[in-house]
Amino acid sequence: MLFEKLFYEALKPMKLQGSTGSYRKRQNLVADYDKTNPSYPQVLERLKKLNAGTFKIPVETAKKIISIFKITDLTESNPRKLGNTGISLSVNNGKYVISK
């Protein structure tokens, strides 16, 4: 009995290394900020990774971006910044353009 107790005491530090813990409510190994959102426009993700660039986007994607960032007054003479991403959304000749 004493030997078993000493044996299990010696295993405790090894058991905790590299374990996420079975006592947690959810066993998710990826943090929420690293998970991708399938409804977020992929064009914005690509442009965030670039240093500079310009993309023409379809109307459906532009409407999704406008609803995500709550843009109300977008005109040809008034481009709007998208939060703190460094990306701006503008209208050129009736076409939506995002640029960084």
Distant-in-sequence, close-in-space partners of 27: CB < 8 Å, separation ≥ 6: 20
pTM of the model: 0.64
More confident site: 44 or 32: 44
In a domain, 69, yes or no: yes
Dist. CA 86–CA 70, nearest whole Å? 16
pLDDT attached to residue 98: 94
How many folded domains does the chain comprise?
1
Instruction: Please determine, for residue 13, whether its predicted confidence score (pLDDT) is greater than 70.
Output: no
Instruction: Please determine, for residue 79, whether its predicted confidence score (pLDDT) is greater than 80.
Output: yes
Please say whether the beta carbons of 87 and 79 come within 8 A: no
In a domain, 18, yes or no: no
pLDDT attached to residue 95: 93
In a domain, 6, yes or no: no
In a domain, 25, yes or no: no
More confident site: 46 or 21: 46
Q: What is the extent of the structural domain holding 96?
A: 39-100
In a domain, 14, yes or no: no
The one-letter amino acid code at 73 reads: D
pLDDT attached to residue 62: 93
